[in-house]
Structure 1
Amino acid sequence: MPTIKQGFAPVVDESTRLLILGSLPGDASLAAQEYYAHPRNAFWRLIGRVVGKDLCALPYLERLATLKASGIGLWDVIASADRTGSLDAAIRSPRATDLHGLIAGLPTLKAVAFNGALAARNGRRLLGERSGLTLIDLPSSSPAHARPFEQKAAVWDQLTFTLR
């Protein structure tokens, strides 16, 4: 039976230049109350390459601080939904986050990157043709998205150009 899953607050500040949006935290993340907490999720390895630091070796709060210091923010496109398990395919009755409200408070934002197909589909629909922002689709960092790490990294590594 599906249960209501609630997302987290955004991790941003006034210097956020790149906002990475996922769909909705999975069960491991919800249990830990941390973005991308599943041990096989490649997010911290992928974004660590972008910022040039081994984020996996840092405690969670230091990871977030490093992202903020690098101009990177995190959030999701879905605020809450009915979902059994962690798969995006199991999401039912999603309620969208207020992306426009968040973005309005980010004066230095240049780009929005979507972590996975569902985030991209929903995020692009929510944002529409928002001028001035570069929108980037990324392969999902989830272990459920069975693509070799190096193939994912080749796309994620391009985020370094958005931070310049």
Structure 2
Amino acid sequence: MQNRIFSFPPIIDNDSKIIILGSIPGAKSLEKQQYYAHPQNKFWKIIFELFNENFTEDYEERLSILKKHNIALWDVIDSCERKGSLDSEIKNEEANQIAELLEEFPNIQTIFCNGGKSFKNLQKVLGKDFKIPFYVLPSTSPLHTISFEKKLEEWKAILKFL
């Protein structure tokens, strides 16, 4: 039996307008107890580029940049069994209560999924015709090997919803 891993609580407040959903934290993120902690993951670099913010390694400052730009963060999967960090290794997953969170925070108008796994799981959880639109963006994981520039270009879609 593999060890069960758990996602983090959502980063969200009443001013959040969009939410970005990953699948579930990878090994490095779980070790550091921080979203997107792997140094090769481009999530934070993309966020800082999108909003012309000065890049920082400080996690609290990173979270404050998300809040400043009305972005919430969470994962589609609450818990699962997985060895390593690959989404393809995820087994026996339990979903987070996404619909309930969106009810509690009605200012969220758009959902963006960080990669295909979170998008597919979200479709299972919410159905294809959910009342809030959701979109898939290229994964910021280093395993998704398209260029940083291409990822950044596609992630600019977020700006239209803020």
**TM, length-normalised to structure 2:** 0.95
- Indicate whether 1:126 and 2:130 are aligned: no
Query: Which residue is 2:47 aligned to?
Result: 47
Contact kept? 1:82, 1:92, Cα under 8 Å: yes
Q: 1 CA distance for matches of 2:69 and 2:110?
A: 14
- Indicate whether 1:16 and 2:16 are aligned: yes
Post-superposition CA distance 1:30-59 (Å, at most 9, x none): 0000000000000001122222213x4151
RMSD: 1.1
Q: 2 CA distance for matches of 1:95 and 1:57?
A: 33
Percent of aligned positions with the same letter in both sequences?
A: 37
Query: Which residue is 1:148 aligned to?
Result: 147
- Indicate whether 1:61 and 2:49 are aligned: no
Q: Which runs of 4+ in 1 moved over 4 A?
A: none
Q: 1 CA distance for matches of 2:114 and 2:83?
A: 20
Q: 1 CA distance for matches of 2:53 and 2:109?
A: 22
The count of aligned residue pairs is 161
Equivalent positions of 1:1-164 (< 5 A) are 2-54=2-54, 56-128=55-127, 129-131=129-131, 133-163=132-162
Match of 1:137, SS state, is strand
Structure 1's unaligned 5+ residue stretches are: none
The code of the aligned residue for 1:28 comes to K
